[in-house]
Amino acid sequence: MNKNLLRSTILTFSTFLSALWIFFMHVNWNYIQDIRHSDPIWLVNGVWPWIHIIIIMYVLLFLIIVKYDLKGKIFHLIFIAYLVLVIDSTPYFLSTLYRFPDTINVVHASVLLPEVLSDSIELSYPESFPGSYMLFHIVHLLAGIDLFAFSRFIFTPLVLISMFAFWYLLTAHLFDSRVAFISTVVAIPTQIIEISLTPNSLAIILTLVCLFSCFSDKWNAKILFYIVAIALVSTHAIHPIVLLVILVFFYFYIRITKLNILDITWKKICFVFLSWITWIFSPSCVMGAGIIETLHRMLSLESRNWSHASTYTVGTGNLAADYVWIQNLTMFKYELYALVLAVIIVCDLYFIGFYAFTTNNINMLKEPKLIMKYFMLLLGVIFSTITLGNLILGGSDTQNIISRTLNYSLLFVSIFIASSFSSLNIPSKSLRKTIKGFFIVFLLIAFATYPFYSYGRDSYINYPMSQEVGSNFFRDHAPDDNLNAVSSYTKAEYFYQMMEGRDEEEDNVRRSTVYVNGWYSMNYQTEVSHDVSNEMTSSFG
């Protein structure tokens, strides 16, 4: 088997699949944009079944790469980039404006950042964590680019690809390129992807760059770590805590195993911690008190909300009540990964643990890769515990932390899964084949179901061009104390109010119609009309 030829063939076919998908979106653009005004899960129905065919083809290519052990970091990263662009970037390409209601406030604050920092305009988040807003303001000034277009065509794809690329490089450094490739692909359908022109998106990359800089103990890598850590602290409230958890964990792992795999010292840990504390308690951080209060509730165990924890479903939003099958698929995803973990642990207990004790070969249990694998699982459990703790004890604003820590939990769990399946320590040939078959079925199910629950949620949070018109109208006419309300009106709430006749609150319906969009107004007329006829004229502009 000529592996170089096979690599070239796979790259060519991967490029063809991506080009084919872009062509499909272009040809079907008007149809997809048209049904968004009448179909609450327009993004799911608009791309079915072609997105699934493309995804399954990519999964088959992935299995060929793993089967023939095709190496090469550049080769792996290009394949991952294509996969991420097709699976995770599709909602952004089809959104026509932006993907989150927050983005409208981020763009507003970024453009007017000098006024915000001079207290002419009071906006708590950019005042407390101005890092990302400064970057977006500079981009807007120097490039003169519309920030909505920048978010959709440059920032979002770049952040999505960079996120998984840095994760691949981190895993390759800890294990090898084979484990890194498998774990990154396995992790893709686990993620609650919330990448837009927001502080959280930039903070993800800054966190991973900090970890990346720990690969080397050279002075330039150390300087990079400290600079990026300061940028991270000034950008986001939660990600410095995530970084601290990872740094402390690996610090003790290195001390216990005596393996110098990362340059993590107490100086770096203390620097991040003291920088974060100093920033949170600084007078300019008006959100600091609320963050400390949430952490205090979690650490003191002063309040418990078990019912909230038992009913909360990450990622489905208001879909749960109206599309139970989407909620079930979301929960099935977590159950599926839990089943895979259980199978791996049982196999390891029997074929490694039991065999080591019965043959008096305890050295098997000291194998570095085995220890590292279970330390990755432990770190995943730690982040899951933080997620659950915030859900039960953190208060009402749960998803701000949950969607951050749960993603990291599943990333580390994916490393555990990948390191197990990359080299099966099972003596029975038939059982090895069975386990490999189980992994293939698991992967196909994970990827095939991903668009349903992910794009189902995206149908609610992808906003059309007329949203900008409506939000500007609202901002111009609403009282000052209602400016923040623009981000609180969700499509789901008003769509179902009017579709199902639950419009008894006339004031709410009237307020929803300021968006002057077929999706929102559902034939309700507003006092001021706007021309939004160009909303669907171009597929990528």
DSSP 194-261: --SSSHHHHHHHHHHHHHHHTT--SHHHHHHHHHHHHHHHTT-SSHHHHHHHHHHHHHHHHHHH----
Last residue of a domain, one of 400, 431, 461: 461
CA–CA dist 485, 459 (Å, integer): 21
**Which residues, in sequence order, are bridge partners of residue 311?**
none
Per-residue pLDDT 10s for the chain (541 aa) are 789 999 999 999 999 999 999 999 999 988 888 887 677 778 888 898 999 999 999 999 999 999 999 999 999 999 999 999 999 888 878 876 655 667 777 887 888 888 878 877 777 788 888 999 999 999 988 888 888 788 888 888 899 999 999 999 999 999 999 999 999 999 998 877 667 788 888 999 999 999 999 999 999 999 999 999 999 999 998 899 999 999 999 999 999 988 889 999 999 999 999 999 999 888 777 777 677 776 766 666 665 555 555 555 444 444 445 567 777 777 788 888 899 999 999 888 887 776 667 776 667 677 888 889 999 999 999 998 888 777 776 555 544 555 678 889 999 999 999 999 887 667 778 888 888 899 999 999 999 888 887 777 666 566 554 544 444 544 454 444 444 444 334 443 443 343 333 444 434 433 333 333 333 332 323 333 333 333 333 332 2
- From first CA to last CA, the distance across the chain in angstroms is 45
Maximum C-alpha span of the chain: 83
How far lies 104's CA from each of 8, 93, 95, 265, 399, in Å? 42, 17, 14, 40, 19
Phi, psi of 64 (to 5 degrees): -65, -45
Same domain, 443 and 474: no
Q: What is the DSSP letter of 526?
A: P
In a domain, 65, yes or no: yes
pLDDT of residue 97: 61
CA–CA dist 137, 197 (Å, integer): 12
How far lies 413's CA from each of 69, 134, 239, 341, in Å? 22, 34, 19, 8
In a domain, 183, yes or no: yes
pTM: 0.83
What's the domain range around 513? 465-536
Same domain, 334 and 377: yes
How far lies 284's CA from each of 57, 117, 128, 274, 474, in Å? 51, 9, 6, 16, 29
Same domain, 263 and 138: yes
pLDDT of residue 480: 44
Same domain, 333 and 385: yes
Coil/strand/helix, residue 463: strand
Same domain, 354 and 469: no
Same domain, 125 and 147: yes
pLDDT of residue 513: 35
Same domain, 441 and 492: no
In a domain, 409, yes or no: yes
pLDDT of residue 88: 87
In a domain, 473, yes or no: yes
HEC profile of 412-425: HHHHHHHHHHCCCC
Q: Residue 206, exposed/middle/buried by CB under 10 A (0-12, 13-18, 19+)? A: buried
CA–CA dist 151, 197 (Å, integer): 5
Same domain, 404 and 469: no
In a domain, 541, yes or no: no
Same domain, 437 and 475: no
CB-CB contact of 179 with 419 (8 Å):
yes
Last residue of a domain, one of 409, 427, 461: 461
Phi, psi of 522 (to 5 degrees): 45, 55
Same domain, 508 and 451: no
Q: At a CB cut-off of 8 Å and minimum separation 6, what does 326 contact?
A: 41, 316, 319, 320, 452, 453, 456, 457
Residue 146: Cβ within 10 Å count: 11
pLDDT of residue 347: 86
Q: What is the DSSP letter of 98?
A: B
Q: Which two tokens stand for residue 244?
A: 């601290």
In a domain, 356, yes or no: yes
Q: Which amino acid is at 301?
A: L
Last residue of a domain, one of 461, 493, 518: 461
CA–CA dist 393, 308 (Å, integer): 10
CA–CA dist 181, 66 (Å, integer): 9
Cα 459 to chain centroid distance, Å, stands at 16
How far lies 386's CA from each of 235, 273, 308, 379, 403, in Å? 21, 18, 15, 11, 11
In a domain, 95, yes or no: yes
pLDDT of residue 478: 46
CB-CB contact of 208 with 161 (8 Å):
no
- CA atoms within 13 Å, Cβ hemisphere of 220: 0
CA–CA dist 513, 388 (Å, integer): 38
pLDDT of residue 318: 45
In a domain, 333, yes or no: yes
CA–CA dist 379, 409 (Å, integer): 7
Number of structural domains in the chain: 2
Same domain, 439 and 525: no
pLDDT of residue 19: 95
Question: Does the N-terminal peptide bond of residue 464 adopt cis geometry, omega within 30 degrees of 0?
Answer: no
Same domain, 510 and 376: no
